[in-house]
Structure 1
Amino acid sequence: MLKKISVFLVILLLLACDRQSETEKQIEKVPVDLEISRFDQEFAAATPQDLPKLKNKYPFLFPEQYPDSVWLAKLQDTIQLELNTEVAKAFPDFSLEEDKLHALFQHVKYYFPQFQVPEVITITSEVDYKNKALYTGDYLFIALDTYLGEDHQFYIGIQDYLKKNFRKAQILPDAANEIAETLVPRADSRTFLSHMLYYGKLLYLKQLFIPAESDAEKMGYTAEELDWAAANEDQIWRYFIENELLYDTDSELYSRFLYPAPFSKFYLQLDNESPARLGQYIGWQIIRSYMEHNEVSVERMLKTPSEEIFNDAKYKPKK
């Protein structure tokens, strides 16, 4: 009997892989016209005489309330010059990232045909790590000085849990997340469950948009952090249930389990071992379970209320 079940499971797995492979073949055919502008390089190479031309080409990067003297001073600023040098070392060529962004946009357009491919503009931002990537609809800005590697000297003084994702490998997940945020409706209530599923929807879109990236990279976790979350999924869920957190509206739960932090806050001895944002991880697993057990489109899922998703997800944490 067990042998028959295992054979059946293998067949199901193979069929799922075939469907995924066929989907990827279709996605590869999606036409995408990608334009990447290296503003970081153009600004680094500019002379004072080039400023009018740059302002004409990128008016949105030169707010009118600032006089030209600000930008002329910036061209010669020692910190800016150092940023230019370090970014040039790390990103002399952007072709690998270009290929990945091209694939990202193909995936987004496959699932959301109305999506318009933005112009990608690489910049430096004086290490504005709260805006590493910024999607406006027409443009996707990528601040390359926030992806120089977690040990870079520019990041001294920044907390470890933040700078561990200041890596090239996070450019694609950050870009995917920026786009996903424009597609996922905000949480439909103040409950912890609603906010968990909001992040779960974001992560599910990232799963669709960047399937070649590891789940750890999608989460912004290390491999060890993802392993910890997977190994303890049942205990995490039990904690949420036993403490009646799902329908709790205490906003402190967001900082404990959803927002970036050194670790999640169960107020137990294991806290220091745990990765942050475990509520996001659980939300992702609930959305995955919902999509596995219900014949609904991605767009329909995004519009479905959180409580309905939870009731129909048949979610059972892995033990």
Structure 2
Amino acid sequence: MKYRIPGFFFLIASCFYACQNTDSAAEADVSQIQVNVTIEHLENTLMNLKSKEEIKGFLEKHPAFVETFYQTSANDPALIDRIDMLIHHPAILELYQQTQQAFGNSDSLRQQFENAFRHIKFYYPDFKEPKIITTFAGLDNELVVTDSLIVIPLESFIGPGAKYRPQHPNYMLKRYDKPYLVPTVITLLSRKYNRVDLNDRSLLADMVFYGKSFEFTRAVIPNIADSLVVAYADSNLVKIWHNQEYVWGYFLDNKLLFETNERIKDKYVAERPFVTEIGADCPGRIGQWVGWRIVSRYRTENPAVTLVQLMENTNAREIFEQSKYKGQTED
């Protein structure tokens, strides 16, 4: 399975995993859990290639990387030309130097992945750590996450100080910064475990799907700020937290929970600067956040339900009804 950002629904194959007796991330003792985090840094080698012949040899040496990240073959002449232009472009070289300054030491990145992978293995002992490749693509490609390989174009996550930023609207650029990198990867990895009812096309099902993904990320990265999980500004989180009863009332008054029209659903779960239908300053993807509130309340009301059981539950309506969520602010 392959996931790219920004992502929506993906077909998830059914698997069953054993879980630990305790399900609290705060109680999870992962100190004895062994993981193997392999980070292969290809950006330096790639940016020091001198000729098209060297580029071709490099690509042939890394076929899985080429097929996963570039979605083509190693002998694709267009790709060779593209990389040749990349490594000889003066402005791009400046961005590469910034990337080196921002990510020259990968110890922090490795530690973050090790911690997250240990927690995934706590819940899913059969979890196999994907290989991690970092690269430089001159903002020409997005982060890619599969079950076995993660490819990170580091220049995308330098942050607001970068000479060039990813070609996305300003309201989306916040998440293209170092603190969001690992949470974004983990949220995408969660989709391997996030079971869905493919026959349920309701907005509620979409909301619960996202809520389960965010809950997974918070469980395997303990003490993470909610703003890093959902990629909202802190000010937006405070505002919608205190206005969630109004937001929830809007969903109910407009009978949106069981809406199946994709255009209507996208207004509430897809990327937008604001959901103006609800309010001029209501942030986009509000349905994703409300879905997380439903899932969070469900876990509060059903403390015996483990993370694994939550992720395997395909019944969005059951999760909603048992959450007893009515827009309340308390957990």
- The TM tier, using the shorter chain, reads 0.7 to 0.9
Structure 1 position 186, deviation (Å): 4.1
1:284-295 → structure 2 map (5 Å cutoff)? 284-294=292-302, 295=304
Alignment of 1:236 with 2:239, yes or no, is no
1:104-143 → structure 2 map (5 Å cutoff)? 104-128=116-140, 131=142, 133-143=143-153
Structure 1 position 56, deviation (Å): 4.9
8 A contact 2:244–2:328 mirrored in 1: yes
Alignment of 1:208 with 2:219, yes or no, is yes
Amino acid at match of 2:283: P
Runs (5+) with no aligned partner, structure 1: 1-18
| Partner residue, 1:161 | 171
| Partner residue, 1:297 | 306
The counterpart of 1:39, out of the listed 28, 38, 42, is 42
Alignment of 1:22 with 2:27, yes or no, is yes
8 A contact 1:197–1:284 mirrored in 2: yes
Residue-pair matches, total: 295
Against the structure 1 CA distance between its residues 166 and 98, is the aligned structure 2 distance closer, same or farther, given a 3 Å change threshold? same
Amino acid at match of 2:173: K
Against the structure 1 CA distance between its residues 64 and 28, is the aligned structure 2 distance closer, same or farther, given a 3 Å change threshold? same
| Partner residue, 1:178 | 188
| Partner residue, 1:262 | 273
8 A contact 1:128–1:146 mirrored in 2: no
For residues 120 and 20 of structure 1, the distance between their equivalents in structure 2, rounded to whole angstroms, comes to 24
Structure ID, larger Rg: 1
Query: Normalized against structure 1, the TM-score is what?
Result: 0.84
Shifted more, 94-103 versus 58-67: the winner is 58-67
Amino acid at match of 1:59: P
Identity of aligned residues (%): 22
Structure 1 position 254, deviation (Å): 2.9
Runs (5+) with no aligned partner, structure 2: 1-23, 67-72
Secondary structure class of the residue paired with 2:30: helix
For residues 140 and 122 of structure 2, the distance between their equivalents in structure 1, rounded to whole angstroms, comes to 32
Against the structure 1 CA distance between its residues 279 and 30, is the aligned structure 2 distance closer, same or farther, given a 3 Å change threshold? same
Against the structure 1 CA distance between its residues 69 and 107, is the aligned structure 2 distance closer, same or farther, given a 3 Å change threshold? closer
| Partner residue, 1:55 | 59
Amino acid at match of 1:34: V
Give the RMSD, CA atoms, in angstroms: 2.4
Structure 1 position 86, deviation (Å): 2.2
8 A contact 2:139–2:166 mirrored in 1: no
Query: Normalized against structure 2, the TM-score is what?
Result: 0.81
| Partner residue, 2:263 | 252
Structure 1 position 74, deviation (Å): 4.1
1:213-224 → structure 2 map (5 Å cutoff)? 213-224=224-235
Structure 1 position 171, deviation (Å): 0.5
Shifted more, 174-183 versus 186-195: the winner is 186-195
8 A contact 1:257–1:265 mirrored in 2: no
| Partner residue, 1:11 | none
The counterpart of 1:101, out of the listed 100, 107, 113, is 113
Q: Which structure has greater helix proportion? A: 1
| Partner residue, 1:279 | 287
Against the structure 1 CA distance between its residues 251 and 55, is the aligned structure 2 distance closer, same or farther, given a 3 Å change threshold? closer
Structure 1 position 187, deviation (Å): 5.5
Against the structure 1 CA distance between its residues 280 and 69, is the aligned structure 2 distance closer, same or farther, given a 3 Å change threshold? closer
Against the structure 1 CA distance between its residues 157 and 54, is the aligned structure 2 distance closer, same or farther, given a 3 Å change threshold? closer
Structure 1 position 185, deviation (Å): 2.7
For residues 134 and 237 of structure 1, the distance between their equivalents in structure 2, rounded to whole angstroms, comes to 34
Amino acid at match of 2:94: E
Against the structure 1 CA distance between its residues 46 and 65, is the aligned structure 2 distance closer, same or farther, given a 3 Å change threshold? closer
Structure 1 position 79, deviation (Å): 5.0
Against the structure 1 CA distance between its residues 296 and 236, is the aligned structure 2 distance closer, same or farther, given a 3 Å change threshold? same
Structure 1 position 301, deviation (Å): 1.9
Any idea what the Cα deviations from partners look like across 1:226-285, whole Å, max 9, x if unmatched?
Answer: 11121111111111111111111122233221112111232x5x32x2211111111111
Shifted more, 147-156 versus 91-100: the winner is 147-156
Against the structure 1 CA distance between its residues 248 and 146, is the aligned structure 2 distance closer, same or farther, given a 3 Å change threshold? same
| Partner residue, 2:162 | 152
